[in-house]
Homo-oligomer: A and B are copies of this chain.
Amino acid sequence: MSRQEVISLNEEAAKSLRLGICGLGTVGTGTLDLLRENADEIRYRLGAELEVTRIATRTLEGKKIDNIKHVSTNVFDVINDASIDVVIETIGGYDPALDVIRGALISGKHVVTANKALIAEHGNELFELARENNVALAFESSVAAGIPIIKALREGLAGNKISWLAGIINGTGNFILTEMESKQRQFEEVLKEAQELGYAEADPTFDIEGIDAAHKLSIMGSIAFGIPLQFDKTYTEGISSITPEDLNYANELGYKIKHLGIARRSKNGIEMRVHPTLLSKSRLLANVNGVGNAVLIHGNMVGATLYSGPGAGSAATASAVVADLIDLARHIQSGITSPVYPALGYFEMRNELTIIEIGEIEAEYYLRIPAVDRIGVMAQISGILQEHDVSIEAVIQKEAISETVPIIILTHIVTEKRLDQAIAEIESLADVAGKITRIRVEPFNGEAA
């Protein structure tokens, strides 16, 4: 049984919280700006001050650090300052962020972090460390920036048994798919533009291969089901193989293609997967475009609720960092000496729930088969599908404009490994000229919203 997280009472901090910021990049600067800009409103809300008394950042050049008492270039200075109540970790990445968080927790400081990679990959260790040291480790800003999705899942929907959640949780990927669809452009071309616009990194792997989304998904999945963080068991598939043609065929069938993170409680166990997905055009989630984020959560009582907004950016992320600070300040003011919410929402984790292999999931599928335009090829394909008990929901076969003509098939629900066997057989046909593109289709149990 997991023990409850304990938040220590800091008597001196009853009126005002002293903050140390580690890292003045996009999020750190945004947090500092927000605390200055909204100082009045925060004082009305909280009846106290959130005061940044120390900042440590790699370089001081060009940073707006006037009126900050203590400034240095050594991030560990913040941990060693005994007067600091809360360390705000906005360094990003693993090194030295991991050591900063460990050090802060061990020295009895609360930590607020926006670092999704660290929480997803080291959260189990870090939450335990926070518990042992009677301090809080808050991470609202690590998923979907300013959309308060952690609070919604952990607290607002706590009366539910969560059935599934599905989110557009990487703005870069969603921008690329939106541009590809609306302007009929190829993936590589749009990626290059996204890099020029600053939406995508020079090395875009984290975004386009779904690693960033998988970090966020594993955090949400843990809170949804009460299971430990298991980033390494999250299935990840990127968007680089999607073509404008796929987006068009999907559209013809009534769908949009989105890069989704999906966590689902299925009869065999927990599904955790990031991949391109066809979803009905009529859903709000399908109409979240550009760099926006959105998460659709289905609870057994409330049904489906959607949370949408900007999923990145300096001020939007700072909004969530400061929400965590205000939450923490309120709890400290209240004199709490034992936990309110455990980090992942569960008093006792549901360790019996295991994450299943991707081959075990059941879904509907979109197949684009590069067939040679010859009599009988459709009969061969449907014969193989039938042999493997894969039933067909819809087919698009256009007139050939070259020697090969794509056959588009939408299947009914089927176990993935069974479909994959059928695909392998179809690809080995003499009249099929290359790899089959296979995209999962999510009907989301026909639930609304």
Contacts and interface: CB of A to CB of B under 8 A. Distances in A.
A436 interface: no
A156 B157 CA distance: 14
Interface in A41-94: 41-48
Given A157-B148, A323-B159, A303 B299 contact: no
Among A161, A226, A349, max chain B CB count under 10 A is at: A161
Nearest to A162: B41
A319 interface: yes
Number of copies: 2
B340 A319 contact: no
Interface residues of A, number: 77
Given A306-B309, A307-B306, A309-B305, A159 B334 contact: no
Contact of A333 (B331, B335, B338): B338
Contacts of A309: 302-306, 449
B299 A319 contact: yes
Interface stretch (A234-242, A310-318, A390-398): A310-318
A339 interface: yes
Contacts of A315: 301-303
Contact of A305 (B151, B155, B308): B308
A341 interface: yes
The 5 closest A-B pairs by CB, nearest first: A148-B156, A159-B322, A47-B347, A305-B309, A146-B302
Given A152-B152, A159-B322, 7 more contacts: A44-B347, A45-B158, A146-B157, A147-B305, A152-B156, A301-B315, A304-B310
Interface of A: 4, 30, 34, 37-38, 41-48, 140, 145-148, 151-152, 155-161, 226, 284, 287-288, 290, 292, 294, 299-310, 313, 315-316, 318-323, 325-327, 330-331, 333-341, 345-350, 448-449
